[in-house]
């Protein structure tokens, strides 16, 4: 139910729930920003507080309480208002005292746990890096001090209707002008919503016939049209260019031959596909998207992050093959931290640099046949899996682009790597792409901002789970980190190649491939995310993290909580496709062993050594 009320009021009831969040506009002064704090709730009322509207508002609240109390056995009304100005500098980044939330609750012990659950979560709030204080006042009116009660006490008792009040410190606006701080409002709105959800949850389990399994299930399930419009428009921009494909040299094979024939002394010259878009025009389209219309602060932040990432990627495409590209790449993917570099150097030092084995080699056509068989397997599981495979001479190695796996025509790989690559490219990249396409949010297939690290970490983990993560592969990932650090510090292509070949003991072609990936476009630091992502996913698993939420689509580690929340709220659908490595008994056993491990990459090395000895 969504209804407009007088004076800009609004009634929003997502579905039947045993609570209503209320904000009444003060009749005697402006209260900029406060009403935004309730608009994330599954059930909220924004109403005028003037005396002439009181009777109508009271009747409306009474009717809602009567209906839903009958349905659930009890009903909770949480009213929110802004506390008086004071104790705060005009610049809220320099508070004179800690902001104080005041909770007003009944004296009865029946509401103690609900009030304390609210207080506990409120104490976790940070406002511009400052903590807050929470005062719990029992007894008296649980509403704004200058406004009459919404329902008289006797009538509330008759309805089994309970009240909580929250006076919020107005740190989201300037005290002297009322000018709002949008980012503070958004952060506070999200934090307050989570706190109130904890109160709803405790109340529902203690006082009603409703037993929600998790407090997130009491969040919004209905998603307003503005969300879908913004999601679609962001996807429209993202779908107009393939970022990684535009940065992949089309002449990688011929450039290698020239580099080899020149004795590895002159850096190769890479050529790229013409840009299919004008980055400046597309940026204009990007920033016309009305993200500010999205009421849910968590979703609004996801969309803003994606908007910022797309803007940076468009800038990088504009600056391809210029000195500016490297600095933009460092902004997007980050630099190589000392800890990751130390791990990479340790892997290169401790793991043997095995010479090429006599293992059977697969060419591009043979591997393409294996990929097609794997695609057919997943298509039998779900018709939404519409992946394709293509052999091409203008890509380097393997690249997944919009549901298609592209294979370089000169590819040669050992039989022992086939299962690992199928798990990496098909079982992870393509499965998460089509699982994401199945979801109502298009960002889950195009990728939430910063998804690459977790996505590549999961893909490398999948290689281990199918028994195909060799020491040679780990050395390759480590070498990419070393190459990114060298390139970022100003080393040339030739210097980086020589270090990989002479010091790290890679073959000339392998050294070239690693350097080419790192120097493409003008210096792409993305290749450092493979090892960094593997470290992150191993730590996640060792702490009991579930891989299932990661298969919903393409996301970063920081997005896992909101993905779980959206699953609890039934906003997201169940995934249609589960990778083989999540159900294969041997893979499941390997995953369980990691759960009891240290979260170190060397756990994989030890497992690999044990497996080889057993063989």
pLDDT band, very low/low/confident/very high, at 608 (cuts 50, 70, 90): low
**Which contacts of 583-590 are long-range, i.e. CB under 8 A and separated by 24 or more positions?**
584/465, 584/466, 586/467, 587/465, 587/466, 587/467, 590/464, 590/465, 590/467
Say if residues 118 and 199 touch (Cβ distance below 8 Å). Answer: yes
pLDDT band, very low/low/confident/very high, at 404 (cuts 50, 70, 90): very high
Check residue 256 and report its DSSP letter.
Answer: H
Q: How many angstroms separate the CA atoms of 393 and 256, rounded?
A: 13
Q: Is the pLDDT of residue 606 over 60?
A: yes
Q: How far apart are the first and last CA of the chain?
A: 64
Q: Please write the tens of the pLDDT for every residue from 347-395.
A: 999 998 876 555 678 999 999 999 999 999 999 999 999 999 999 988 8
Residue located via tokens 């996640």? 540
Helix (H, G, I), strand (E, B) or coil at 81: strand
In sequence order, which residues have a C-beta less than 8 Å from that of residue 275 and are 6 or more positions away?
A: 241, 246, 317, 320
Q: What residue spans of 139-261 are helical by DSSP H?
A: 153-159, 182-207, 225-238, 243-246, 252-261
Average pLDDT over residues 343-350: 97
Q: How many angstroms separate the CA atoms of 535 and 300, rounded?
A: 29
Nearest in space to 171 (alpha carbons), one of 241, 114, 95: 95
Q: Left if phi > 0, otherwise alpha if psi is -120 to 50, otherwise beta: which for 73?
A: left
Q: Please write the tens of the pLDDT for every residue from 482-522.
A: 999 999 999 999 999 999 999 999 999 999 999 999 999 99
Q: Is 533 exposed, middle or buried (0-12, 13-18, 19+ CB in 10 A)?
A: buried
Across the beta sheet with 9-13, the strand order is: 2-5, 9-13, 43-48, 19-25, 75-82, 161-168, 100-105, 133-138
In sequence order, which residues have a C-beta less than 8 Å from that of residue 491 and are 6 or more positions away?
A: 499
* Beta pairing class for 361-363 and 43-48: unpaired
- What is the pLDDT at residue 296? 85
Q: Please write the tens of the pLDDT for every residue from 202-238.
A: 999 999 998 899 999 999 888 888 999 999 999 999 9
Q: Is the pLDDT of residue 93 over 90?
A: no
Helix (H, G, I), strand (E, B) or coil at 49: coil
User: Which tokens is 90 given?
Assistant: 């005009």
Q: Is the pLDDT of residue 91 over 90?
A: no
Within 10 angstroms of residue 96's Cβ, the number of other Cβ atoms is 8
In sequence order, which residues have a C-beta less than 8 Å from that of residue 254 and are 6 or more positions away?
A: none
Q: How many angstroms separate the CA atoms of 432 and 426, rounded?
A: 9
- What is the pLDDT at residue 89? 42
In sequence order, which residues have a C-beta less than 8 Å from that of residue 435 and are 6 or more positions away?
A: 444, 445, 551, 552, 553, 575, 576, 577
Q: Is 236 exposed, middle or buried (0-12, 13-18, 19+ CB in 10 A)?
A: middle
Burial track 432-452 (b if 16+ CB lie within 10 A, e otherwise):
bbbbbbbbebbbbbbbbbbbb
Q: How many angstroms separate the CA atoms of 270 and 272, rounded?
A: 7
Question: What percentage of the chain has pLDDT greater than the value 70?
Answer: 96
- Helix (H) or strand (E) run with residue 46 in it: strand 43-48
Residue located via tokens 């933009």? 328
Query: What are 422's strand-pairing partners?
Result: none
Average pLDDT over residues 598-605: 88
Average pLDDT over residues 227-252: 95
Q: Is 387 exposed, middle or buried (0-12, 13-18, 19+ CB in 10 A)?
A: buried
Helix/strand/coil (H/E/C) assignment for every residue in 336-357: CCHHHHHHHHHHHHHCCCCCCC
Q: Is the pLDDT of residue 590 over 90?
A: yes
φ, ψ at 396 (rounded to 5°): -105, 120
DSSP letter string over 470-513? Answer: -HHHHHHHHHHHHHHHHHHTT--HHHHHHIIIIIS---HHHHHH
User: Which tokens is 362 given?
Assistant: 């697969």
- What is the pLDDT at residue 135? 95
- What is the pLDDT at residue 396? 83
Please state the pTM of the whole predicted model.
0.85
User: Which tokens is 255 given?
Assistant: 């450039």
Helix/strand/coil (H/E/C) assignment for every residue in 375-434: HHHHHHHCCCCCCEEEEECCCCCEEEECCEEEEECCCEEEHHHHHHHHHHHHHHHHHHHH
pLDDT band, very low/low/confident/very high, at 442 (cuts 50, 70, 90): very high
Say if residues 63 and 126 touch (Cβ distance below 8 Å). Answer: no
In whole numbers, what is the pLDDT of the chain averaged over residues? 93
Nearest in space to 359 (alpha carbons), one of 398, 322, 413, 404: 413
Q: Is the pLDDT of residue 310 over 90?
A: yes
Say if residues 572 and 440 touch (Cβ distance below 8 Å). Answer: yes
Q: Is 420 exposed, middle or buried (0-12, 13-18, 19+ CB in 10 A)?
A: buried
Q: Which range has the top average pLDDT, 173-177, 264-268, 408-412?
A: 264-268
Say if residues 12 and 59 touch (Cβ distance below 8 Å). Answer: no
Q: Is the pLDDT of residue 460 over 50?
A: yes
Average pLDDT over residues 462-478: 96
User: Which tokens is 550 given?
Assistant: 């990661």
């Amino acid at each position: 139910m969504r209804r407009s009320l007088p004076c800009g009021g609004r009634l929003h009831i997502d579905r039947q729930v045993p609570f209503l969040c209320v904000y009444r506009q003060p009749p005697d002064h402006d209260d900029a920003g406060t009403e935004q704090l309730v608009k994330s709730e599954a059930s909220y009322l924004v109403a005028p507080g003037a005396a002439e509207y009181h009777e109508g508002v009271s009747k409306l609240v009474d009717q809602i309480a009567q209906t839903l109390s009958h349905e659930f056995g009890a009903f909770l009304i949480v009213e929110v208002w802004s506390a008086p100005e004071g104790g705060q500098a005009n610049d809220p980044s320099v508070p004179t005292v800690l902001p104080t939330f005041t909770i007003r609750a009944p004296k009865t012990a029946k509401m103690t746990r609900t009030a304390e659950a609210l207080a506990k979560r409120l104490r976790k709030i940070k406002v511009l890096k400052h903590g807050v204080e929470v005062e719990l006042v029992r007894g008296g009116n649980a509403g704004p001090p200058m406004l009459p009660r919404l329902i008289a006490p006797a009538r509330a008792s008759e309805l089994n209707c309970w009240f909580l009040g929250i006076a919020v410190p107005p740190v989201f606006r300037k005290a002297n002008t009322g000018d709002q701080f949008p980012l503070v409002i958004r952060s506070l709105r999200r934090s307050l919503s989570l706190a109130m959800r904890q109160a709803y949850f405790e109340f529902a389990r203690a006082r009603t016939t409703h037993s929600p399994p998790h407090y997130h299930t009491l969040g919004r399930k209905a998603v307003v049209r503005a969300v879908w419009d913004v999601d679609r428009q962001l996807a429209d921009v993202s779908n107009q260019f393939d970022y990684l494909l535009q940065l992949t040299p089309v002449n990688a094979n011929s450039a290698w031959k020239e580099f080899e024939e020149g004795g590895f002394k002159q850096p190769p010259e890479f050529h790229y596909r013409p840009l299919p878009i004008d980055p400046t025009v597309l940026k204009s389209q990007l920033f016309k998207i009305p993200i500010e219309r999205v009421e849910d602060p968590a979703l609004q932040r996801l969309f803003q992050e994606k908007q910022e990432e797309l803007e940076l990627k468009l800038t990088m495409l504009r600056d391809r093959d210029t000195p500016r590209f490297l600095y933009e790449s460092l902004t997007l993917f980050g630099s190589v931290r000392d800890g990751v570099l130390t791990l990479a150097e340790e892997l290169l030092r401790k793991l043997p640099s095995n010479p090429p084995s006599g293992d059977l080699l697969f060419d591009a056509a043979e591997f393409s046949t294996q990929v097609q068989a794997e695609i057919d397997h997943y298509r039998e599981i779900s018709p939404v899996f519409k992946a394709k495979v293509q052999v091409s001479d203008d890509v380097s190695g393997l690249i997944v682009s919009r549901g298609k796996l592209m294979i370089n025509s000169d590819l040669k790989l050992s039989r022992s790597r086939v299962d690992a690559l199928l798990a990496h490219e098909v079982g992870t990249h393509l499965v998460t792409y089509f699982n994401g396409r199945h979801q109502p949010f298009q960002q889950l297939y195009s990728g939430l901002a910063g998804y690459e690290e977790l996505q590549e970490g999961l893909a490398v983990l999948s290689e281990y789970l199918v028994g195909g993560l060799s020491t040679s592969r780990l050395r390759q990932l480590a070498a990419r980190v070393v190459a990114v650090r060298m390139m970022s510090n100003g080393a040339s292509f030739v210097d980086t190649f020589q270090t990989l070949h002479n010091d790290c003991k890679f073959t000339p072609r392998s050294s070239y491939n690693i350097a080419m990936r790192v120097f493409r476009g003008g210096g792409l630091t993305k290749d450092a995310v493979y090892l960094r992502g593997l470290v992150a996913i191993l730590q996640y698993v060792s702490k009991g993290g579930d891989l299932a939420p990661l298969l919903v689509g393409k996301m970063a580690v920081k997005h896992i909580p909101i993905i779980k929340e959206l699953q609890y709220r039934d906003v997201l659908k169940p995934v249609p496709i589960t990778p083989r490595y999540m159900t294969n008994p041997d893979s499941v056993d390997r995953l369980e062993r990691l759960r009891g491990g240290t979260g170190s990459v060397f756990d994989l090395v030890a497992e690999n050594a044990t497996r080889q000895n057993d063989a």
